[in-house]
Amino acid sequence: MQRNSPSTQEEGFSFRKKVWTVVGILTFTILLILLIIEAANALLLIFAGSLIAIFFTGLSSLLERKTGWKRWLCKTISIISTFIIIILFFWLIGAKIQAQISVLSETIPSTVQNLKEQLNNSRVGEEVVERLTSEESIKKAEAFGGRFFQSTFGVFGDIYVVLFIGIFFTVSPDLYAHGAVVLFPPRKRKKVQNVLNHLKKQLRNWLKGKLISMFVVFAFTAIGLSILGIELWLVLSLLAGLLSFIPNFGPLIALIPAILIGLLHGPRTALIILGIYVLVQFLESNFITPMVQKKMIEMPPALILISQLFMGALTGGWGLILATPITVIVIVLVQDLYLEERKDQ
């Protein structure tokens, strides 16, 4: 009876060790993925808070460069002044916005009913109305709406959490960044710090460009609707500017109430409003955005749309809103952690 040689026993032990290592890594990966899926909304809130912190930090850095004041004072001014400006804005025109929102909420149902009656005058229109108002279509719309607008703590609770996370990150950014870096081995920490700095720079450039483009969409839409004589021009323009934060889907959502209001004045007015929105989006997409985002990484439009579809389906409204900055992060990580490593090989 032959005994196994020491080398054979060592090979068997090494093989079993590799198997258990692979099993352990796979188990940990699966558990991590399940944890991320379950906590996806919470992670998105933290990320949204990080974007708020980037805005506050960028504003305070600009103030520090222009005035030479101490950093803590500039941060305090950036946070307080932002809230004061928002409060003053809604205080000055809040009554007008509220009145226009009330008129809009009262007008849209009657407009939809009129549109339904007009569609029922034709055979094709009757089929469209029948399909849209069928029980199956309503259930699908309710399921999609419930999935899209789901949130962790409710809308106002989410906003509260995001704002305070943003303030905490603004007050002590180095503390949280250092905490993330020390999780990695010492030899990797410099690389991780460089990646974090690159991420911060790209997200700041993206946010700066997005805020400028949102203001341009609001201003141009307001000019067009006011010239056209639409009474609800202010609330419709604000809606268009805010929703332009969401590429692809945001402008479409903002267009729906504008078209419905236009139908109250006739099909011609509705077509003119459609032309105004298309022209504004054309100018924003082809001139404004490329001009303000020259220093940003290039993001293929198809990649943004794909990320929106996946994030919207998996996490609802927050995922759709934050899909673009998440795409920025993914591109930076691929460039810094994969493509740069291949160049060095």
Least confident interval from 41-50, 154-163, 265-274, 275-284: 154-163
Rounded Cα–Cα distance for residues 96 and 109 (Å): 21
Q: How far apart are CA 205 and CA 294, in angstroms?
A: 9
Q: Quote the pLDDT of residue 223.
A: 94
Give the span between the Cα atoms of 207 and 212, in whole angstroms: 9
Amino acid at 292: V
Other Cβ atoms less than 10 A from the Cβ of 212: the count is: 16
pLDDT at 83 over 60: yes
Which residue did the predictor score with more confidence, 73 or 314?
73
| Gyration radius (Cα) of the chain, Å | 26
What gap in Å lies between CA 52 and CA 79, rounded to an integer? Answer: 10
Residue 151: pLDDT over 80? no
Q: Which residues contact residue 131 at a Cβ distance below 8 angstroms, ignoring those fewer than 6 apart?
A: 137
What single letter denotes the amino acid at residue 265?
A: H
With pLDDT > 70 as the criterion, what percentage of the chain qualifies? 68
86-100, 171-185, 201-215: range with lowest mean pLDDT: 86-100
DSSP states of 255-272 as a string? HHHHHHHHHHT-HHHHHH
Which is more confidently placed, 272 or 114? Answer: 272
Higher pLDDT, 302 or 246: 246
- Per-residue pLDDT, 1: 47
Task: Flag whether pLDDT at 10 surpasses 60.
Answer: no
Q: Residue count of the chain, please give it.
A: 345
pLDDT score recorded for residue 112: 66
Q: What mean pLDDT is predicted for residues 254-272? A: 84
Higher pLDDT, 223 or 266: 223
DSSP H helical ranges for the chain: 6-38, 40-67, 71-119, 123-132, 135-148, 155-171, 173-181, 186-228, 233-243, 249-264, 267-283, 289-292, 301-315, 317-321, 323-334, 340-344
Structure confidence by residue, pLDDT tens digits, 270-300 = 899 999 999 998 888 777 777 766 656 667 7
Q: What confidence category does residue 116 fall into, taking pLDDT thresholds of 50, 70 and 90?
A: low
Q: What's the confidence (pLDDT) of residue 141?
A: 53
Q: What is the pLDDT of residue 155?
A: 61
In this prediction, residue 95 carries a pLDDT of 65
Predicted local distance difference test score (pLDDT) of residue 8: 56
Q: Is the pLDDT of residue 181 over 70?
A: yes
| Sole residue written with tokens 């960028």 | 58
> Tell me, what's the pLDDT at 134?
58
User: Is residue 345 pLDDT above 60, yes or no?
Assistant: no
- Are the CB atoms for 312 and 323 separated by under 8 Å? yes
Confidence of residue 240 (pLDDT cuts 50, 70, 90): very high
Q: Are 259 and 273 in contact (CB under 8 A)?
A: yes
* 300 backbone φψ class: left, alpha, beta (φ>0; ψ -120 to 50): beta
**Whole-number pLDDT of residue 222:** 93
Cβ atoms within 10 Å of 282's Cβ, excluding its own: 10
Provide the pLDDT for residue 219: 94
The pLDDT, as a whole number, for residue 308 is 83
pLDDT over 90 percentage in the chain: 10
pTM for the whole structure: 0.72
On the question of pLDDT at 70 being above 60, the answer is yes
> In this structure, are residues 265 and 255 in contact, taking their beta carbons and an 8 Å threshold?
no
Q: What is the DSSP letter of 298?
A: P
Residues 6+ apart with CB under 8 A from 263: 111, 114, 115, 269, 270
Q: Kindly provide the b/e burial profile for residues 158-187, where b requires at least 16 CB atoms within 10 angstroms of the residue's own CB.
A: beebbeebbbebbeebeeebeeebeeeeee
Q: In this structure, are residues 47 and 162 in contact, taking their beta carbons and an 8 Å threshold?
A: no
